[in-house]
């Protein structure tokens, strides 16, 4: 699945998908598309690769505050997290259940981690008599017994609920988001493991794994799908700037001009990654360690990195234009 095949309502980035799935229950249900969520949050511009094997943990190997709360705050929501390792005490498990129930009773589902698989999803209902939470993630929609909270795949309970909603200035939100996107691209984002390489360095790590013929077929296919889909959303987001900011101010003119330039470069990234996706479809994964396939993959990733470097440069110039004091 790539973004262009599903009407722009589904993404391989489960954190962004969970945020988007939460929106219909909020006062902003008509305000944001999934393209908005992917763009403003920065998920459209992420990549995180382990140089040894390109394993599937890369996209989520970050603090949930980065993956979820950062984007929700930019979209105008206040949030409250809850998290602890398992096995946990009965008191901790009861606290988590009540944490989810309190939000659901207010009409707001809770975002959860690793409910059925190691991805983000929604906890949208509960039945105290049956002792069940009702959850949906990329794999499954169904009941999760309360007792299963102590047996989740990643041995960690994480929930996030929205506590308030405010109006935000779209240009201010994008300026803040843009700064984080640039920091991420330059490898300056806080991570949970220094072994993984994010931003532009992620492409070098990916190429290294192909060069050493140590690529995990499943993880590689998954990362390919995630990053390809993300860049497709990034292009769509950047191409929306003329409609989003049609004004005559210097800032808005810079947004349109540099957005168009960046979209062209990220479009080249997406095209290269679509080539990679054809070589290594998910979940079968193809033969990434076959010499011919690996050589072709290296060439595609070099093309993607070169184009992304140009795209990041355009975004950096955009940020400079938005934050320059002399601009009115």
Q: What tens-digit pLDDT sequence spans the chain (328 residues)? A: 344 445 789 999 999 999 999 999 999 999 999 999 999 999 999 999 999 999 999 999 999 999 999 999 999 999 999 999 999 999 999 999 999 999 999 999 999 999 999 999 999 999 999 999 999 999 999 999 999 999 998 999 999 999 999 999 999 999 999 999 999 999 999 988 999 999 999 999 999 999 999 999 999 999 999 999 999 999 999 999 999 999 999 999 999 999 999 999 999 999 999 999 999 999 999 999 999 999 999 999 999 999 999 999 999 999 999 998 644 4
In whole angstroms, what is the distance from residue 23 CA to residue 171 CA? 20
Q: In this structure, are 40 and 53 located in the same domain?
A: yes
Q: Is residue 240 part of a domain?
A: yes
CATH of the domain at 134: 3.90.70.10
Q: Please state the φ and ψ torsions of residue 150, each to the nearest 5 degrees.
A: -85, 0
Q: Is residue 70 part of a domain?
A: no
Q: In this structure, are 114 and 175 located in the same domain?
A: no
Q: How many residues does the chain have?
A: 328
Q: Is residue 71 part of a domain?
A: no
Q: Are 75 and 37 in contact (CB under 8 A)?
A: yes
**Global confidence as pTM:** 0.95
Domain final residue, candidates 104, 138, 165:
165
First-last CA distance in the chain: 43
Instruction: Encode pLDDT of 195-215 as tens digits.
Output: 999 999 999 999 999 999 999
Name residues whose C-beta falls within 8 Å of residue 69's C-beta, 6 or more positions apart in sequence: 79, 81, 160
**Sheet with 156-165, side-by-side order of all strands:** 77-85, 156-165, 110-113, 120-127, 132-136, 141-145
pLDDT of residue 4: 45
Q: Are 98 and 196 in contact (CB under 8 A)?
A: no
- Structural domain that includes position 173: 3-63+169-323
pLDDT of residue 56: 98
Q: Is residue 68 part of a domain?
A: no
R_g over Cα of the chain: 20
Q: Is residue 270 part of a domain?
A: yes
Q: Is residue 246 part of a domain?
A: yes
H helical segments located in the chain: 14-22, 34-41, 64, 70-74, 90-105, 170-185, 200-212, 217-239, 241-244, 250-279, 291-323
pLDDT of residue 6: 57
Q: In this structure, are 197 and 306 located in the same domain?
A: yes
Distance of CA 319 to the CA centre of its chain: 21
Q: In this structure, are 49 and 86 located in the same domain?
A: no
Q: In this structure, are 82 and 185 located in the same domain?
A: no
pLDDT of residue 328: 41
Q: In this structure, are 236 and 257 located in the same domain?
A: yes
Q: In this structure, are 259 and 299 located in the same domain?
A: yes
Angle (deg, nearest 10), helices 291-323 and 170-185? 140
Q: Is residue 72 part of a domain?
A: no
Domain final residue, candidates 147, 165, 183:
165
Instruction: Encode pLDDT of 147-186 as tens digits.
Output: 999 999 899 999 999 999 999 999 999 999 999 999 999 9
Q: In this structure, are 115 and 185 located in the same domain?
A: no
Q: In this structure, are 283 and 268 located in the same domain?
A: yes
Q: In this structure, are 200 and 289 located in the same domain?
A: yes
Name residues whose C-beta falls within 8 Å of residue 263's C-beta, 6 or more positions apart in sequence: 234, 235, 238, 239
Domain final residue, candidates 113, 144, 165:
165
pLDDT of residue 7: 75
The SS3 assignment for 86 reads coil
Total domain count, the chain: 2
In the numeric block, which tokens belong to residue 89?
């005490």
């Amino acid at each position: 699945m790539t973004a262009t095949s599903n009407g722009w309502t589904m993404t391989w980035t489960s954190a962004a998908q969970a945020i988007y799935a939460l929106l219909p229950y909020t006062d902003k249900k008509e305000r944001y598309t999934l393209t908005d969520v992917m763009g403003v949050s920065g998920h459209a511009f992420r990549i995180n690769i382990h140089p040894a094997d390109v394993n599937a943990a890369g996209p989520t190997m970050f603090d949930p505050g980065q993956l979820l709360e950062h984007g929700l705050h930019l979209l105008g929501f206040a949030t409250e997290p809850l998290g602890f390792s398992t096995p946990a005490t009965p008191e901790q498990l009861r606290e988590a259940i009540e944490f989810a129930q309190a939000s659901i009773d207010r009409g707001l589902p809770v975002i959860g981690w690793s409910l059925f698989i190691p991805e983000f999803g929604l906890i949208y209902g509960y039945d105290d008599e049956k002792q069940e939470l009702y959850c949906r993630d990329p794999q499954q929609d169904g009941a999760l017994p309360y007792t299963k909270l102590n047996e989740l795949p990643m041995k960690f309970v994480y929930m996030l609920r929205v506590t308030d909603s405010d109006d935000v200035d779209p240009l201010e939100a994008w300026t803040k988001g843009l700064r984080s996107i640039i920091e991420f691209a330059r490898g300056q984002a806080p991570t949970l493991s220094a072994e993984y390489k994010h931003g532009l360095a992620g492409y070098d790590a990916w190429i290294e794994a192909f060069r050493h013929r140590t690529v995990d077929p499943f993880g590689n296919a998954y990362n390919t799908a995630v990053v390809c889909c993300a860049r497709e959303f990034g292009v769509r987001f950047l191409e929306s700037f003329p409609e989003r900011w049609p004004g005559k101010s210097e800032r808005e003119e810079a947004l349109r001009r540099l957005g168009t330039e960046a979209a062209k470069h990220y479009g080249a990234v997406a095209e290269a990654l679509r080539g990679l996706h054809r070589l290594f479809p998910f979940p079968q994964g193809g033969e990434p360690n076959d010499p011919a396939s690996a050589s072709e993959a290296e060439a595609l990733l070099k093309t993607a990195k070169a184009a992304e470097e140009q795209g990041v440069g355009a975004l950096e110039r955009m940020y400079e234009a938005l934050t320059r004091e002399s601009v009115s």
